[in-house]
């Protein structure tokens, strides 16, 4: 038996045991043995054995309850870049799926652009979306990789610290946000903050220390009272107290209406009541207001009845706490909570549960409903109803949904998501109706193309405008795909 030490895969295996098979565990162990062998003798800048890093990455992926393939790819994610291993070796031993994910992760980490910072960021984001469109699991591995790298950032040179922390704030945190992984986003931001803005970070820590301490003390009393109050109503609910993440506090303080005034922050520490059902959320709200007087002026925000544009659901109420200070209490169901914290990875958990015959309603409980920017995830949820086999679901997660869509970019780097087969005319109308009515010429990746040119994901599309507005050509109806373009073309050409 292998001696238990820091370099031990047991911890990962323990985490995945409840949802993977014995065979899966054997495969993961085999990948780990391979990893130890090829990375042997290598050290990280922090002084640890190199293999400690992929182990941490795999552990994170296990916490997110990723499938076997993703976990193995996590274990092997650095072997192409840092060892003599070839892609074909990985494919032969662990299958082409693992090899493709590892290749994807390597490709993304390779992204180094010439030009200014802004252009670099756009380019990186663009490539990231492209890689993601092939297999979302690449992004999960990359996020787990980034999380661990950020936690050992202290070991790097100062310039590297700054570069990586800014990159994390500008690319990886927003990416996690887009995938609904709020917890990962917050972690990435808080790991970056001290390195990206050291002076502001130190100032904020000093400035907020007393307030945090007071708020925490206050909250302990509130938690107690809420527990009693809820118990009296015969409630089953979890109360958890959370500190606002420093980086999000810093951002909030910069808002004009807050104007750097800590006194205007009511959610420095907030209590969350996590209920079983939606109805219980409203009952819990009643209990809260019975104990603490709610502030009629700032009142209650019901994001359950009216979810935020990103799909966030919760009830927030601001009440006068024990010492009269205003505090925020958030109420949500377990599913809403999971969705807010873990996003797509929570979805994985539900899909596993479902494939094991658990509650069908979980998927239809509104977790992913009403989220426009998340439409592709919704698509997967719908598919899940049809796909009974977990293997099919994994294929769906590879974003086959994306095969119906392409991503193209304006010269400024704004991303547009269009149906497959779209042309520069569709693009123009997607940007703005007005642009559609000024089309003179189109350039794709800096070359002039016919207006019927079929765009591919990743293309940079530029519309050269005419001086005067022009009527669209009715022939454009032969090659346009978007409703917005077609409606406009029909409307304007009818007039002739």
Interface residue list for Mn ion (CB under 5 A): 78, 145
Residue 107 beta carbon to Mn ion: minimum distance, rounded to whole angstroms: 13
Residues whose CB is less than 8 angstroms from the CB of residue 309 and which lie 6 or more positions away in sequence, other chains included: 371, 372, 373
Which CB atom, from 78 or from 338, has the smaller least distance to Mn ion?
78
For residues 424 and 227, give the distance between their C-alpha atoms in angstroms, rounded to a whole number: 59
Are residues 427 and 460 in contact, defined by beta-carbon separation less than 8 angstroms? Answer: no
Give least dist CB 78 to Mn ion, A: 4
| CA 238-380-124 angle, 5° bins | 95
Shortest distance, position 197 Cβ to Mn ion, whole Å = 25
How far the first Cα of the chain sits from its last, in Å, is 83
- For the chain, the maximum distance between any two Cα atoms, rounded to a whole number of angstroms, is 83
Q: Closest separation between CB of residue 109 and Mn ion, Å?
A: 7
Exactly one of 82, 87, 89, 392 is catalytic; name it.
82
Catalytic residue flag (residue 213):
no
Instruction: Note whether 223 and 277 are within 8 A (CB).
Output: no
Catalytic residue among 81, 110, 279, 323: 81
What's the rounded Cα separation, in Å, for the pair 300 and 322? 19
SS3 315: strand
Q: Which are the contacts of 188, defined by CB distance < 8 A and separation ≥ 6?
A: 143, 146, 147, 150, 168, 169, 172, 173, 176
Catalytic residue check, 167: no
Residue nearest to Mn ion (CB): 145
Any residues with CB less than 8 A from the CB of 291 and at least 6 apart, and which? 225, 226, 229
Q: Where are the beta strands (DSSP E) in 425-480?
A: 439-444, 447-449, 461-465
3-state SS class at 406:
strand
Burial category of 48 from C-beta neighbours within 10 Å (exposed 0-12, middle 13-18, buried 19 and up): middle
What count of Cα atoms within 13 Å lies in the side-chain half-sphere of residue 72?
26
Query: Which CB atom, from 44 or from 289, has the smaller least distance to Mn ion?
Result: 44
In angstroms, what is the minimal distance from the CB of 26 to Mn ion? 24
CB of 69 to Mn ion, least distance (A): 18
The least CB distance from residue 146 to Mn ion, in Å, is 8
What the block records as the tokens of 430 is 């997607």
Closest CB to Mn ion among residues 21, 151: 151
Residues designated as active site: 81-82
């Amino acid at each position: 038996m292998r001696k238990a030490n820091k370099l031990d895969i047991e911890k990962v295996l323990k985490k995945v045991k409840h949802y993977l098979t014995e065979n899966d565990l054997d495969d993961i162990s085999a990948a780990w043995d391979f990893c130890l062998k090829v990375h042997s003798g290598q050290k990280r800048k922090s002084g640890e054995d190199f293999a400690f890093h992929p182990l941490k990455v795999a552990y994170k992926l296990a916490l997110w309850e990723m499938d076997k393939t993703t976990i193995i790819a996590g274990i092997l994610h650095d072997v192409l870049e840092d060892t003599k291993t070839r892609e074909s070796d990985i494919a032969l031993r662990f299958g082409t799926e693992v090899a493709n994910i590892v290749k994807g992760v390597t490709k993304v980490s390779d992204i180094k652009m010439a030009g200014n910072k802004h252009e670099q960021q756009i380019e990186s984001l663009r490539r990231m979306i492209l890689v993601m469109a092939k297999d979302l699991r690449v992004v999960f591995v990359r996020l787990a990789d980034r999380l661990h790298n950020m936690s050992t950032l202290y070991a790097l040179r100062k310039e590297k610290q700054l570069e990586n922390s800014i990159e994390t704030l500008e690319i990886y945190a927003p990416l996690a946000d887009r995938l609904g992984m709020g917890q990962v986003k917050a972690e990435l931001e808080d790991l970056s903050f001290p390195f990206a803005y050291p002076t502001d970070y130190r100032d904020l820590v000093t400035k907020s220390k007393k307030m945090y301490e007071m708020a925490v003390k206050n909250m302990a009393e509130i938690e107690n009272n809420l527990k009693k109050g809820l118990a009296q109503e015969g409630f089953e609910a979890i109360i958890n107290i959370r500190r606002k993440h420093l980086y999000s506090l810093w951002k909030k303080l910069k808002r004009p209406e807050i104007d750097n005034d800590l006194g205007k922050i009511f959610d420095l520490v907030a209590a969350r009541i996590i209920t079983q059902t939606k109805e219980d959320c409203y009952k819990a709200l009643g209990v809260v207001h019975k104990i603490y007087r709610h502030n009629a002026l700032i009142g209650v925000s019901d994001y359950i009845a009216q979810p935020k544009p990103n799909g966030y659901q919760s009830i927030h109420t601001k009440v006068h706490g024990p010492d009269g200070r205003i505090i925020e209490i958030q109420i949500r169901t377990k599913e809403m909570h999971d969705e807010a914290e873990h996003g797509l990875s929570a979805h994985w958990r539900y899909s596993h549960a479902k494939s094991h015959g658990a509650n069908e309603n979980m998927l239809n409980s509104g977790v992913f409903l009403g989220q426009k920017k998340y439409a592709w995830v919704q698509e997967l949820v719908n598919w899940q109803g049809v796909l009974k086999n977990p293997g099919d679901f994994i294929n769906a997660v590879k974003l086959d949904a994306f095969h119906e869509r392409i991503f193209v970019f304006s010269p400024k780097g704004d991303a547009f998501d269009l149906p497959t087969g779209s042309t520069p005319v569709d693009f123009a109308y997607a940007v703005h109706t007005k642009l559609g009515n000024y089309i003179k010429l189109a350039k794709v990746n800096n070359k002039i193309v016919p207006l019927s040119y079929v765009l591919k994901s990743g293309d940079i599309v530029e519309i050269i405008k005419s001086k005067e507005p022009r009527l669209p050509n009715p022939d454009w109806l032969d090659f346009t795909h978007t409703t917005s373009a077609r409606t406009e073309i029909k409307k304007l050409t009818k007039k002739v």
